[in-house]
Amino acid sequence: MSYTVLARRYRSTTFENIVGQDSIAKTLRNAIDSERTAHAYLFSGTRGVGKTSMARIFARELNRSDSLTEEEAIGNAILRGEDLDVIEIDGASNRGVQEARDLIAAAGLAPSRCTYRIYIIDEVHMLTTPAFNALLKTMEEPPSHVKFILCTTEPHKVPSTIQSRCQRFDFRSIPSTKIAEHLSFVLKEEGVKADNSVIAEVARLGNGSMRDSLSILDRLLAGGSKTINANEMEELLGLPSQTAISSLCAAIATNDMQKAFEASDCLIASGISLDRCLEVLSSALRNGLIARVCGEHSPLLELSDESRKEATVLGNQLDEATITHMIALCDATGREVRRGGSGRALFDATIARLCMTGQLSEAGAVLAGNNVTPSTSTKKKRINAITNSQETQKKQTVTIEANKQVASDKVNNSKPEAQVSPPVTTTEISDEQALKAIEETPGLKRIAKYLKIVQLERNSISFGINNEGRESTKYIFAQEQKIAEVLSGLANRKMTVSISVPESEKPLSRSAVSLEVVEDNELVKVARGLFDGTVVQVTNVKGNS
């Protein structure tokens, strides 16, 4: 006995079983009940969303009658596409004007046993212009026993003269959640168990098409396993390793270039093309962006519960602007890789740029002479710091007032001693704690090794820039406010931070030219305008005598 694919065995047979097209099914059902059915319909939508199934179900309901002795047999024949009074025509194979004339001639014949003679024309956009013109008059005023149901995936190719003679219904792509529910039902009927992550991924790969999702599920079931896990799915379908993708995203978020290279090499070694690697990476970044903006449980995230948590972690590590830039960078590199050239070198350079995105964006803003716009997380920290400071002041005020009242009560001996709120405690920090806090803060880790503490007092701290950090002094100075916020939070009080370059660390050569002098040079200004560049370092070059 030959095997029947899942898409055919589990095809919808009633209006209620059509997945994801409830409004259209309800409208057609009400039209039949109220006897207000039109003579021609146009069903449009992408592949595998239920157009032909809906057409067959609609045709069966139209031809149902209590007077038919073989009502059930006729209905089943219509659903199989084998009934004499419901004629299914493939527009790609019958696209000429002669086929249209034959259809018009046959439309005059009365139905053999049903109420209506119904023509279902699939992929109707494939008909030629003369064939459409030949059908115009018949479709506008067909015999009372004839109805047309046209199905197409490209409605823009159907002439407006044809569309104006039809009631048009646009079938939407099916949400992944509804596809996943139907796949779970199919697996239960087949006696196969699958992880939730597998079902969610198959539903996502279907891209809104139920037929495509069932075809992918057929490939998994062909392996003969009664239990399908994520690793088996990746192997059978040739999908990139989700573990490697998660490792790559985590490495990029933490600026760990070595781990990022190792994870991306693992993806490529598994046989995934470079542009496909960038595609899945940008998709993972997109999930992180949605999780950050809309929340972990947003319906925009068509993921399993475990994948939702990973997307949320990624979104919390990166701000919106950074993720958006990363996605655009992956897309641009993917196009370049597909064109050819040094693909692997360009791919690795992109991974490196992704790891340095946060540092490059902040450094670029500083070198361009602009104020660095704080990220959302930084803004939140500042708001929290201000709120905490205000609450601290309120608590201190309440404590002072309470102490005054207690003193007054002791003098007057009129009231018992009031309970006093404990004062807000502060923390004394050491040099090691201050430097460690700076090193563990995102965005400051790179400059921590360039700083040394010159003087540490209760409410202020002075840093000096060592010899290694002389070339980055402008960038380090721009982080002064951020360092103050970090140390204020550590000490639980406001800390003032000052950064300077000690005389011992300054270059000894008196012939050195300062950065400001070079930037005022007319030739340098012209060069900066031509290349949209920034002066980073000035070096004296001795000429040959």
pLDDT by residue (tens digit) across 239-282? 888 888 989 999 999 888 999 999 999 888 888 888 889 999 99
Rounded distance, CA 515 to CA 522, Å?
Answer: 14
**Beta carbons of 222 and 190 less than 8 angstroms apart:** no
Measured between alpha carbons, how far is residue 213 from residues 51, 197, 336, 389, 390 in Å?
16, 14, 31, 55, 56
pLDDT at position 148 is: 94
Rounded distance, CA 40 to CA 103, Å?
Answer: 15
Measured between alpha carbons, how far is residue 447 from residues 444, 451, 499 in Å?
6, 7, 12
Q: Which CATH number is associated with domain 6-170?
A: 3.40.50.300
**Beta carbons of 144 and 45 less than 8 angstroms apart:** no
Radius of gyration of the chain (CA): 36
Fold of 242-355: Zinc Finger, Delta Prime; domain 3 (1.20.272)
CA nearest to 403, candidates 373, 423, 424, 431: 423
Length of the chain: 545
pLDDT by residue (tens digit) across 74-118? 888 888 888 888 999 999 888 899 999 999 998 888 888 888 999
Q: Looking at 167-176, 260-269, 387-396, which range is the least confident one? A: 387-396
DSSP string covering 235-254: HHHTPPPHHHHHHHHHHHHT
pLDDT at position 125 is: 93
Query: What confidence category does residue 210 fall into, taking pLDDT thresholds of 50, 70 and 90?
Result: very high
pLDDT by residue (tens digit) across 223-232? 778 888 888 8
| Top CATH class, 176-237 | mainly alpha
Q: Where are the beta strands (DSSP E) in 3-55?
A: 40-44
Tell me if the pTM is above 0.85: no
Identify which of 350-359, 361-370, 394-403, 464-473 has the greatest average pLDDT.
Answer: 350-359
Domains 6-170 and 242-355 belong to one CATH topology: no
**Beta carbons of 470 and 463 less than 8 angstroms apart:** no
pLDDT at 238 over 70: yes
pLDDT at position 511 is: 40
Per domain, the residue ranges of the chain are 6-170, 176-237, 242-355
In DSSP terms, which residues pair with 16 in a beta bridge?
A: none
**Beta carbons of 86 and 63 less than 8 angstroms apart:** yes
Query: What confidence category does residue 375 fall into, taking pLDDT thresholds of 50, 70 and 90?
Result: very low
Tokens 């360092």 identify what position? 483
